[in-house]
Amino acid sequence: MDKIYMSGLEFYGYHGVFEEENRLGQRFLADVVMSLPLQQAGLTDDLHETVHYGEAYDCIREIMDGEPAKLLETLAERIAASLLASFPALQDVQVKVTKLHPPIKGPMNGVAVEIVRSR
């Protein structure tokens, strides 16, 4: 299956279990891989035969900037469901959401959750 990658999408959100995360907010990253047949788009140069990246970004942004969630798992599920509902050509979607500065003592580059959802 062909794939479209959207990598390193940055957002500032108020997601998390702790009150200070919900009040102060923090940076998050989202990475999305969308699987769908792309040969027709490549042959015809027709945007209607693929996923419009800007529209996909808007779906992701709406979730990441929207209603706070306690869990990264919830954000990933919301993004996957939104993309699958918005783009009928998608066969499956892989979503990774990273919290860059989780409230954990110790050095790290972040904590991430990655899911794959199919039709």
- The question of whether 105 is a catalytic residue gets the answer no
- Which pTM does this prediction carry? 0.96
Which amino acid is it at 4?
A: I
What pLDDT, on a 0 to 100 scale, did the predictor assign at position 49?
Answer: 96
With vertex at residue 75, the alpha carbon angle to CA 71 and CA 80, rounded to the nearest 5 degrees, is 140
List, in order, residues 6 or more apart from 91 with CB less than 8 Å away: 1, 35, 36, 37, 118, 119
Catalytic residue among 70, 96, 99, 105: 99
Domain regions of the chain by residue span: 3-118
Q: Which CATH number fits domain 3-118: 3.30.1130.10, 3.40.50.12780, 3.50.50.60, 3.30.420.10?
A: 3.30.1130.10
For residue 18, what pLDDT is reported?
Answer: 93
The mean pLDDT value for 91-96 works out to 98
Instruction: Provide the pLDDT for residue 38.
Output: 98
What is the three-class DSSP state of 65? coil
